[in-house]
Structure 1
């Protein structure tokens, strides 16, 4: 975690998150959520991605995800598709950053080449899903400007509701509204508004599990697109933390030999 984040956390949280300015309070909440999820090191997991179109027709994809926490910067992640057969071996590598543009590469086995995802294309859909490329990077605190909106109860949980506005270029969103439960600072819902400030998508989180007595991960994440009628459901399983991953496991060469 960066020094300035620690300083902000200590200063604002000493007031129990009740800073006068909504911007200060929103930032303090985001900093605390980040602090609580720091220090996991690395993890691997399996994911089932179910795409549903407007007519209710479904297609299922299975993949593996590896993530490495990077001190002083954003996380590195590698996603590898195992099913269906026509996209088996497709892999995406992401280097998330705090202030400079994220870096993303997609390996397409049919073409046997690595394609870099340009920053201006980060708002595009990932592999036909309702998740954009920018949704799949780690959500570093510095990437957004914040504002506390209100307290609200959702799914029986008392939540902070904050607004975050992308501070980076080429986002597909004008802003996002985030519900974080007050007890554990876990996201419960995120509403995404498009560049015209119209409702675009809603992401909901369900069935949280705790790992290493500290880190919470949702087993189900549902992204619903209100403008297209499509949705994407992510089901996670087999989380394993601190498996010994290193920088060597996250480079463009690993994309081509990912199995």
Structure 2
């Protein structure tokens, strides 16, 4: 996998823009646009404040029972127990992405959005934006190229984090809870944007040409492969192991903090 400085990558994207007008850029969120995981930030803050509501207990109990976990304790305690089992490799990551979305059941969408905005501010997401990717966003704005975030983290917190980098909610594709009468329910809109679902969900939103996609982990592979210029941002080992499956994949040279 070749490493490129951001200006080299932008030159390649510019050639795609010139040859095919009307396209877009797509970015994974966690680890790609910013360091860390805003979904984890939201989950840990919610459970740390014992703010998971009783509405979620039946679904959490079913998940815990399925994976052979104990089911006693508050809903927040039970949610943390399930998350710990994921960290120990006992639960698939996709299931945890879904749980992190429906664990807010019983909250109104307005409450959840306000809480997520507070989490993004308190966890300093603005200071966690990767400088090299910030440069790509600046270039895209200057050239009127839309930028989309495609993330498996919960919609409310991804929308809040995307605002930090100037991406509007209508260009955010993320794990979305089912809701009824403005209240979060214990299920998600399927598929979630994880693995192949990233391409499916993005294409359900827009059919514009995908000039470039940016990702950091193996579950970004399909999104990267759907783009004309696939770019790895500070790639994790699992993506590095699969880099050979995308012959055109390049790594964006990291830049020191602004």
Q: Considering the TM-score relative to the shorter chain, is it more than 0.5?
A: no
Which TM bucket (shorter chain)? under 0.3
Higher strand share: 1
Higher helix share: 2
TM-score by structure 1 length? Answer: 0.26
